[in-house]
A and B are shown apart, each in its own frame.
Chain A
Amino acid sequence: MIPTRPWRILALGIVLGCGFLAGSAAGYIDPGTGSYVLQIAIAFLVGLAFSVKVFWKKISIFLKKTFSSKDGNGPDAS
């Protein structure tokens, strides 16, 4: 099936265009060339998504802490 959404086309483009990126691996199982290529190709994508997720989590924790401490110590808390 040919993907139709733009981000899917982008992902496929990255995969098909990154054959030159594969690396060698330590270990005793064959990682598979195609698997290696894909992993390197999507590294930026998944790394970025993960960074955003972690950043967002930190922000939300910070906001929660800020507001809960305000609730706890504010003049109206009693």
Chain B
Amino acid sequence: MRPEGVLPSSFRDPAGRVFRRDGVLYRSILGPGRPHYDTLMSSGLYKELVAANLLVPHDEVSLGGDAPEDRVTIIRPEEIPFISYPYEWSFSQLQDAALATMEIQKRGLHSGMTLADASAYNIQFLRGRPVLVDTLSLRRAVKGEPWTAYRQYCQHFLAPLALMSLRDVRLGQLLRIHLDGIPLDLAAALLPLRSRGRPSLLLHVHLHARSQKRYEGRDAPMARRKIGRQALLGLVDSLESGTRKLRWRAAGTEWADYYGDTNYSPEGMADKLKAVEEFVAAVRPRTVWDLGGNVGTFSRIAAKAGAMTVTFDIDPACVERNYLATRAGREAGILPLLMDLTNPSPASGWENRERMSLLERGPADAVLALALIHHLAIGNNVPLEMAARFFARAGRHLLVEFVPKSDSQVRRLLVTREDIFNDYTQAEFERVFGAVFNLRRRIPLSGSDRVLYHMEMK
């Protein structure tokens, strides 16, 4: 059950608030937001953006109560099944979110509207595609006024994408610290020299950073020059083409070729696929978390059965490949996300409530933890009790694979370190997990010593 009332992240914009009542998500359109909302609806832009899958659809509703929010316009947007954050996205997910933002701004300008902000947090993935969820971001454009969200777009999208593309994909994690995007002076300092050879990066990152530094804390003489619509369209075009030209190829990481480098026999793999199918058929989950899901092989079984499935993996290349596959196959039921389970996304922002931790976004109906336990227990010294507790917080049903010390993958983990894991045995695993879960099924995998367990929380 999600908390009721105004969402902790909904406080910046006086034009409206997002709140939850009786489990349903609503957005109020307050006084300052009303003319903008009316223009959005009457100009045809709303219909156009929804038809293009760029804006979350909504219904206008009446709550009929006495609360202050009942006396204003209320909309009920389609709810996003799983809220994700830019520091959890792969390169192409962030790039697609950026391009969606640019497309919305472009179409907005043609309809006399503009995005008041360009926060990456305003974009969420719905049925596999990035959509704007902040309906009130679209404002009436004031003739001659520059784009107020230019800085934000560069910090939230262009700079991180440039760093990921031209320096190191792991620099996307800077977004986890810098919630209002990567400061441009930092991005400029970290980008390689060759980035200055790209006109869009030279203008929008390097010169932008220099301009910010020059006018830092200075009261510049105001409002003397206007900026025309053609210039605004030119700005969007420049930002869009600069964003589109950035590339990152998912290759050469530890896990990207996992299934090509494993000790599964074809029979073992077939057993595993069948076990996941049977698990999903038995539980019939609406939501599934595939922890350490690599490129989403098993997630697809859950998604095909109709479950909204989030595939978490620590490897940016796996998440990227998985996303590109979902995009190419128009798979609506899978959301690949980058997640280090030994240090999952924390609650952050104002009062530590603005952005939710991973576990706050759960629990899922079912959790897949396949070929994962040895990485947690041996790779990260997590005691089995703590692993069981984590899985119990993540979801009600669990399909977990126990990988014994005799397995080549575990031997590989132990090759450079002392084996201090005397409790890491199948018997101890069953005892510890049995204290938290009821065992529903035990499935040995052919051709290996591995065993799958379907468990349900007590």
A binds B: yes
Residues of A that sit less than 8 Å from B by CB = 1, 3, 8, 11-12, 15-16, 19-29, 31-51, 53
With contacts A3-B196, A21-B224, A23-B223 taken as known, whether A40 is within 8 angstroms of B202 at the C-beta atoms is no
**What is the chain B residue whose CB lies nearest that of A39?**
B146
Q: Which of B209-217, B296-304, B379-387 contacts A (4 or more CB under 8 A)?
A: B209-217
**What is the chain B residue whose CB lies nearest that of A14?**
B207
Interface size, B (range): 35 or more
The answer to whether A8 touches B202 (Cβ under 8 A) is yes
With contacts A28-B12, A28-B13 taken as known, whether A44 is within 8 angstroms of B226 at the C-beta atoms is no
What sequence of 0s and 1s flags, for each residue 274-306 of chain B, a beta carbon within 8 Å of any chain A beta carbon? 000000000000000000000000000000000
B6 contacts partner chain A, Cβ-Cβ < 8 Å:
no
Q: Which of A29, A40, A47 contacts B148 (CB 8 A)?
A: A29
A45 to B262, CA, bound (A): 54
Apart from A25-B146, A43-B228: 14 A-B pairs, beta carbons within 8 A? A3-B196, A12-B207, A12-B210, A24-B223, A28-B116, A28-B117, A31-B148, A33-B220, A34-B213, A34-B214, A39-B146, A39-B147, A46-B238, A47-B228
Determine the chain B residues whose CB is within 8 A of the CB of A37 once the complex forms.
211, 214-215, 220
A47 to B235, CA, bound (A): 7
Residues of B that sit less than 8 Å from A by CB = 12-15, 116-117, 139, 142, 144-152, 154, 193, 196, 202-203, 207-208, 210-216, 218-228, 230-231, 233-235, 237-238
A3 to B152, CA, bound (A): 25
With contacts A15-B211, A29-B152, A39-B150 taken as known, whether A20 is within 8 angstroms of B220 at the C-beta atoms is yes
Distance (whole angstroms) from the CB of B192 to the closest CB of chain A: 11
A40 to B148, CA, bound (A): 11
The answer to whether B234 touches A31 (Cβ under 8 A) is no
The answer to whether A15 touches B207 (Cβ under 8 A) is yes
With contacts A3-B196, A40-B227 taken as known, whether A49 is within 8 angstroms of B207 at the C-beta atoms is no
A41 to B151, CA, bound (A): 14
